[in-house]
Amino acid sequence: MNTELSEAHQKIVDEVRDFATSVVAPAAYSYDTERRLPMEIIAQMGEMGLFGLPFPVELGGQGQDYFALCLAVEELGKVDQSIGVTLEAGVGLGAMPVYRFGTDAQREQFLPMLAKGEALAGFGLTEAEAGSDASATKTHAHLDNGEWVINGTKQFITNSGTPITRLVTITAVTGESDRPDGSVKKELSTILVPTPIDGFTVEPAYDKVGWHTSDTHPLTLENVRVPEANLLGERGRGYANFLKILDEGRIAFAALCTGAAQGCVDEAVRYASSRNVFGKNIGSHQYVAFKIARMEARATAARMAYYHAASLLLAGKPFKKQASIAKLVGSEAAMDNARDATQIWGGYGYLNENAVARHYRDSKILEIGEGTSEVQLMIIARELGFEA
């Protein structure tokens, strides 16, 4: 695996890093405190083409690849995970299902505005009793006079209530059949729901521990009617399709984790090099230096893990296990580094205005979102041949 970035990829890294340090980082504490998604920053990201990185030029994209998206997400994640996940989810969960499984008409309708950052999309999968176990989905949809009629609720849906949200892809039960053992097999499909639309309610945003800037809402659908043509992919293939989207999305999510882990390293190095105690900086103490060295090792391992998974994806090779490894390793690195960076900063690290304090609050969700650590272990074990 070649880890040296191409000229095109390095250019993306340089441009997004400059944007992250000069625009996102200085404003992060302000909009984190206000608990709002800064649409002015999202607009700038759209103008930079970040939301269209992996999509073809003819669909409004930049004609790059999925790895380019991962690199951009990592750079944003170093300074603000909320902004990083807005991009990661907007592309990986919002636009990518349309690109992977949509008809030509669906792509032409939705992808140009999503790729240009003029609109955002959410992926309505999770419910109160259906997260890791998507087969427990209760949202139902049935056909009536050429329209899908959808009823149900969704939870923890990113980018679902922004001023520019124009689409939420909903997973719903579209049929049931009896199994030989007497149990019921659910037919799970995915349906495109343009927003706003009658019967679709974006409930008040969650009061979260972290990711204060990320837009996250529960949703209620009451007799929402959309054309039959809004079925995304084959009927009954919703479960299989969303698994493919999550497998792929975990690579970009691992890049976000890596950015968070590296951001903590950068802040720890900066503070340990300037904070003087008893006449010398604290980084001169072996204990502190070794702690930061271990943080750097974690971040590097996380980066290599998602680079590997991305290389397999781009080569058209199986990558499910490597994506789960990258997500597991990256999320643990981010959480461990956030804790250590906060310890190095001491009392200052416990102030919300400090970037490490924000990473400390934000990083826990990295071990939960887009598949918990336990789910990743289950996937890895299965790929090794175990029935765990």
Query: What is the homologous superfamily of the domain 240-383 according to CATH?
Result: Butyryl-CoA Dehydrogenase, subunit A, domain 3 (1.20.140.10)
Q: Which of 358, 373, 343, 346 is nearest to 260 (CA)?
A: 358
Is residue 170 pLDDT above 80, yes or no?
A: yes
Q: What is the pLDDT averaged over residues 296-318?
A: 97
CATH architecture for segment(s) 122-235:
Beta Barrel (2.40)
- Helix, strand, coil % over all residues of the chain, rounded to 5: 55, 20, 25
Q: What is the pLDDT of residue 182?
A: 67
Report residue 360's pLDDT band, with 50, 70 and 90 as the boundaries: very high
**Cβ–Cβ contacts within 10 Å for residue 132, how many?**
11
Whether residue 202 contacts residue 161, with contact meaning beta carbons closer than 8 Å, is answered with yes
The two three-digit tokens of residue 281, written as one number: 């900086």
Is residue 48 within 8 Å of 233, Cβ to Cβ? no
User: Taking the CA atoms of the chain, what radius of gyration do you get in angstroms?
Assistant: 21
Distance separating alpha carbons of residues 86 and 31, to the nearest angstrom:
14
Q: What is the pLDDT of residue 383?
A: 96
pLDDT digits (tens, 9 = 90+) for 88-145: 999 999 999 999 999 999 999 999 999 999 999 999 999 998 877 777 899 999 999 9
Active site residues: 370
**Average model confidence (pLDDT) for the chain?**
95
Higher pLDDT residue, 184 or 358? 358
Rounded distance between C-alpha atoms, residue 206 and residue 366, angstroms? 17
- Structure confidence at residue 340 (pLDDT): 98
Nearest to 27 by CA among 74, 78, 90, 79: 79
Domain boundaries, the chain: 7-120, 122-235, 240-383
CA neighbor of 25 nearest in space, from 91, 82, 86, 85: 82
Whole-prediction pTM = 0.96
pLDDT surpassing 90 at residue 177: no
Which architecture does CATH list for 7-120? Answer: Orthogonal Bundle (1.10)
Q: Which has the minimum average pLDDT: 84-88, 118-122, 205-209, 237-241?
A: 237-241
Q: What is residue 298's predicted lDDT score, i.e. its pLDDT?
A: 98
Residue 186 has pLDDT above 80, yes or no: yes
pLDDT confidence band for 332 (50 / 70 / 90): very high
Per-residue pLDDT, 388: 61
Residues whose CB falls within 8 Å of the CB of residue 268, separated by 6 or more in sequence, listed in order? 291, 292, 295, 337, 340, 341, 344, 345, 356
∠ CA 29-32-35, nearest 5°, is: 155
